[in-house]
Amino acid sequence: MSPVTLAVVGAGNRGSAHGRWALAQPDRARVVAVAEPRAVRRDRFASSHDIPAGASFASWQELAAKGRLADAVMICTQDAAHAEPAVAFAELGYHVLLEKPMATNEADCRRIVEAVERAGVTFAVCHVLRYTPYTALVKRVLDEGRIGEVMSVQHLEPVGYAHHAHSYVRGAWRRQGAAAFMLLAKSCHDLDWLRYVVGRPIRRVASFGGLSHFRPENRPDGAADRCLDCAVEPACPYSAVRFYSRFLDRGVDWEGDHWPLDAVMDRYTEADLRAALRDGPYGRCVYASDNNVVDHQVVAMEFDGGPTGTFVMTAFSAGGHRRTRLFGTRGELEGDGETVRVHDFLTGTAEVLSAGTPGNATAGGGHGGGDWGLMDAFVRAVATGDRSHVLTGPRESLEAHLAVFAAERARREGVVATVAMDVASPQEDTAAGR
């Protein structure tokens, strides 16, 4: 079978990560075209993949204007720039791998689903957590009935103090409007994952949370607008100098992931880092940025048929994998992203199972094996025409996104929100050819 051909739209962190999977699997996939406005990124990417000048474009619009150049496209632009290319490339007949979130509003998410269904193409949203060995283990334990019927769930996304400061106070996801709101940007993964493991749609949600800490009034005495000028920087856990220097000191492996440095600068030298911290958004005091997304949020949810759950997202954590407790009628499952502890009510015993999770929870760590699991599934689905390899069909992805929009509405308006119920069940999803 000849390799699946891929076009990459947005050769930033995610586009490069997906591209690296193809480089490691040359017999299964080949990237043959790229669209990226930033010349440094475009040229670096084109050179790693041997993409000729004629297949290297400065925007997705220029790539789309050429008609269909590849079997599939991987859309890795920023959140607010997903819907237009997703619809355009689906209409051209490309199979579509779309970074999450699908789009920043409900209407655009629905427009994407309509477009991919109309075109009859394979479509996958990068809900990478579904594809980790750890999730496969959790699913297996649940499917074997080892804890009976799931009745309650507790799920935590410990974003991590430094990751939060990087992405959601200083970085690209700091402002709703420019990007998605926090729950959509970071935690659409979590609501999707909960829907997947519990095996039921989320029907009703309530939510609380806000931007409590990263605000001007919490700025310590003596703090400057930039970490480089700050007298109290050594005592600040959110120091940009300390955070980025730690990564720079480790050295940059050109074949590897460059998160978080790739967002900060194009060349990884001490001088470039200082220049970026001096002039760019990543050198700003976390109490003097223009961020407006929440730094902690909780969602209480009711699943179809009655099970209930809570989800906590917080900046104020050491980071690491998500942690979950699933409470069933015959037992309890406790998972930390690497191991699963199963307590059996009948025998009174507990068993610890290990998933052999590769990599850590961050983008740099490949999301615990999810990044490569996702690419493997998508390319397999495109190569064989068997869409069941993709674990998130368009309608199930839409359903999870609708739960996120409802939860955010609940938080903002102080109401209990009902998730729209007009989305087909997963069975219908499969039958409709996801």
Ligand X SMILES: NC(=O)c1ccc[n+]([C@@H]2O[C@H](COP(=O)([O-])OP(=O)(O)OC[C@H]3O[C@@H](n4cnc5c(N)ncnc54)[C@H](O)[C@@H]3O)[C@@H](O)[C@H]2O)c1
Residue nearest to ligand X (CB): 12
Build a one-symbol-per-residue string for 65-104: x at contacts with ligand X by CB under 6 A, - elsewhere. Answer: -----------xxxx-x-----------------xx----
Residue 33 binding ligand X, by CB under 6 A: no
CB 58, min distance to ligand X, A: 8
Among 4, 6, 7, 9, binds ligand X (CB under 6 A): 9
Build a one-symbol-per-residue string for 194-223: x at contacts with ligand X by CB under 6 A, - elsewhere. Answer: ------------------------------
- The span from the CA of 286 to the CA of 170, in Å, is 7
* 143 neighbors 310 (Cβ within 8 angstroms): no
- Kindly state the tokens that stand for 192: 């999707």
Q: Residue 208, SS3?
A: strand
- The span from the CA of 10 to the CA of 41, in Å, is 9
Residue 60 binding ligand X, by CB under 6 A: yes
* 1 neighbors 29 (Cβ within 8 angstroms): no
- Binding segment (CB under 6 A) for ligand X, from list 37-45, 269-277, 390-398, 423-431: 37-45
Build a one-symbol-per-residue string for 145-184: x at contacts with ligand X by CB under 6 A, - elsewhere. Answer: ---------------------------x------------
Nearer Cβ to ligand X (39/415):
39
Can you name the residues that pair with 22 across neighbouring β-strands? none
Residue 368 binding ligand X, by CB under 6 A: no
CB 27, min distance to ligand X, A: 25
CB 103, min distance to ligand X, A: 10
- The span from the CA of 424 to the CA of 399, in Å, is 8
CA angle 82, 79, 46 (to 5 degrees): 70
Nearer Cβ to ligand X (12/201):
12
Q: Residue 201, SS3?
A: coil
- The span from the CA of 5 to the CA of 69, in Å, is 8
* 403 neighbors 205 (Cβ within 8 angstroms): yes
Shortest CA distance to 377 belongs to which of 72, 36, 9, 60?
Answer: 72
- Binding segment (CB under 6 A) for ligand X, from list 8-16, 208-216, 286-294, 322-330: 8-16
Among 6, 128, 273, 382, binds ligand X (CB under 6 A): 128
Shortest CA distance to 125 belongs to which of 107, 134, 141, 112?
Answer: 112
- Kindly state the tokens that stand for 295: 């730094």
Subset of 326-365 contacting ligand X (CB under 6 A): 363
Residue found by looking up tokens 């499917």 in the block: 143
- The span from the CA of 113 to the CA of 96, in Å, is 11
Report strand pairing: 296-303 vs 202-210.
antiparallel
In degrees and rounded to multiples of 5, residue 283 shows phi and psi of -100, 5
Residue 37 binding ligand X, by CB under 6 A: yes
- Binding segment (CB under 6 A) for ligand X, from list 29-37, 154-162, 214-222, 410-418: 29-37
- Binding segment (CB under 6 A) for ligand X, from list 31-39, 133-141, 314-322, 377-385: 31-39
Residue 296 binding ligand X, by CB under 6 A: no
Nearer Cβ to ligand X (7/236):
7
Residue ranges that bind ligand X, judged by CB under 6 A: 9-14, 35-38, 41, 59-60, 76-79, 81, 99-100, 126, 128, 172, 185, 363, 367
